[in-house]
A and B are shown apart, each in its own frame.
Chain A
Amino acid sequence: MATGAEQTGGGFPVDPLHQFVVQPLIPLNIGGLDASFTNASLWMVVTVVAVTLFTTLGMRSGAMVPGRMQSVVESFYTFIANMVRDNAGHDAMKFFPFIFSLFAFIFFANMIGMFPYAFTVTSHIVVTFALAAVVFVGVTLTGFALHGVKFLKVFVPSGVPVALLPLVVAIEVISYFSRPISHSVRLFANMLAGHIMLKVFAGFVLTFMTMGAVGYLGMILPLFMIVCLTALEFLVAALQAYVFTILTCMYLHDALHPGH
């Protein structure tokens, strides 16, 4: 909000994109690799620490009859375990730690991003694409490792007339390779758009505030919108983490059981 005070005149009081700027906190260069510890890195570490504290402190007592925190942690665990079992099958449970980490990381990153002044790690395409690429490469390698050449059956849906087969296979191949793109852009765009919208409405509030008495009346609407959008953003934050994870489960299902 301080930026609003600096900028006067015709400019918009808050820069909605400023929240996404990656700023190095500790510049680091290891063997030509830019490993600067940035605000993005900081919030990634915060996310990891938060997940770790959540899952370990909640289970500290390991009670037979769980307390409140332990119930939350256990629900979190069984929720993801059921998601993996239902969508990818029982044999996918060996990937459960990865999928749990993936969901926990995205979920916590999204939620932490809802705090004012926090940086939303998942609002950067490079992060979501890296995660989606790991899933894509991992799933593809798993498929070939388990089924060899038979994994290519994933491109050939059963029960399709031979005449249509070339077309269908082409579509399947394209859809398979566009998976990491849609997978990553969905999460990235949702987080980005939500945060921009919140900032834009906050800007409206500030603009109205500079208008005096009439402005105070006028700012009620955007303020109300911020409240509603915040609630919506919490939903989106949870939902997108869920969507990302469930898609991972479905891709994994394809790798484990190719041929529709």
Chain B
Amino acid sequence: MIAEAMAQEPGSELIAETHVPDAEHAGGFPPFDANTFESQIVWLVLSFLALYFLMSRVALPRIATVLEERRDRIADDLDQAAQFKRQTDEAIEAYEKALAEARAKAHEIAQETRDRLHEETERQRLAIEARLAEKISEAEKQIAATKEAALANVRSVAVDVADAIVVQLLGEADRSASERAVDTELK
């Protein structure tokens, strides 16, 4: 069939080829040369169908797969990053909670120590005050005794003085009378 075509076609072709280029398309404008339409359409259909099948069956699915894999991978990585972020947040939260707890505990311990010290001081103060009060009462007692003793002396001194005065005035004195007089005055 090809041989037949060869025999048929080249004749006209050769004639066309031997013309000078100017005369080659003297019949018109090459894109409007209807003689070439048939073969162009045949080869356009063949080549475009081939391209369509190559693209839709081979090339495009492969590109789509690669792009999809990448998209999935990126989505996964973002998910993972979000998860890590969540973990970090949790860790920070836990840390802050621990810190707050530690702070509260430290405060508590400080308060306790302060209370304990306060209590002890109070206790010591009370003891010292008790001791002091005891000493004071003892001293007061002693003072009272001393005062009493002093008061007793006052009587004898007063009797002596009265006696002496009476002696000076009267030349003689009755000691017991003086004592009576002093006692009456001291009452």
Residue in B closest to A108 when the chains form the complex, CB atoms:
B51
List, in ascending order, chain B residues with CB within 8 A of A22's CB.
30, 33, 36, 39-40
List, in ascending order, chain A residues with CB within 8 A of B45's CB.
130
Interface size band for B? 35 or more
Residue in A closest to B62 when the chains form the complex, CB atoms:
A59
**Chain A min CB distance to B94 (Å):** 36
Residue in A closest to B17 when the chains form the complex, CB atoms:
A23
List, in ascending order, chain A residues with CB within 8 A of B16's CB.
23
Given contacts A22-B30, A29-B8, contact A44 B59 (CB under 8 A): no
Q: Which of A48, A96, A98 has the most CB of B within 10 A?
A: A48
List, in ascending order, chain B residues with CB within 8 A of A77's CB.
60, 63-64, 67
Please, what's the 1-or-0 string for B66-85, where 1 marks a CB less than 8 Å from any CB in chain A?
11011001000000000000
Q: Is the CB of B40 within 8 A of A28?
A: no
Please, what's the 1-or-0 string for B165-181, where 1 marks a CB less than 8 Å from any CB in chain A?
00000000000000000
Given contacts A22-B36, A97-B52, contact A27 B69 (CB under 8 A): no
A-B contact count (CB 8 A): 166
**Chain A min CB distance to B41 (Å):** 6
Within 8 A of B (CB), among A28-69: 28-30, 33-38, 40-41, 44-45, 47-48, 51-52, 55-56, 59, 62-64, 66
Q: Is the CB of A21 within 8 A of B25?
A: yes
Given contacts A22-B33, A55-B59, contact A41 B51 (CB under 8 A): no
B44 at the interface (CB under 8 A from A): yes
List, in ascending order, chain A residues with CB within 8 A of B66's CB.
59, 62-63, 66, 70, 74
A78 at the interface (CB under 8 A from B): yes
List, in ascending order, chain A residues with CB within 8 A of B58's CB.
52, 56
What residues of chain B have their CB less than 8 Å away from a CB belonging to chain A?
1-2, 4-6, 8-10, 13, 16-17, 20-22, 24-25, 29-33, 36-45, 47-48, 50-52, 54-56, 58-60, 62-67, 69-70, 73
Total interface residues on A, CB under 8 Å, equals 59
List, in ascending order, chain A residues with CB within 8 A of B25's CB.
17-18, 21
Residue in A closest to B41 when the chains form the complex, CB atoms:
A130
Q: Is the CB of B43 within 8 A of A18?
A: no
Q: Is the CB of B51 within 8 A of A51?
A: yes
Give CA–CA (A121, B44) in the complex, Å: 9
Residue in A closest to B28 when the chains form the complex, CB atoms:
A17
Q: Is the CB of A34 within 8 A of B63?
A: no
Give CA–CA (A3, B22) in the complex, Å: 10
Q: Is the CB of B56 within 8 A of A101?
A: yes
List, in ascending order, chain B residues with CB within 8 A of A30's CB.
1
Which among B38, B63, B70 is the interface contact of A55 at CB below 8 angstroms? B63
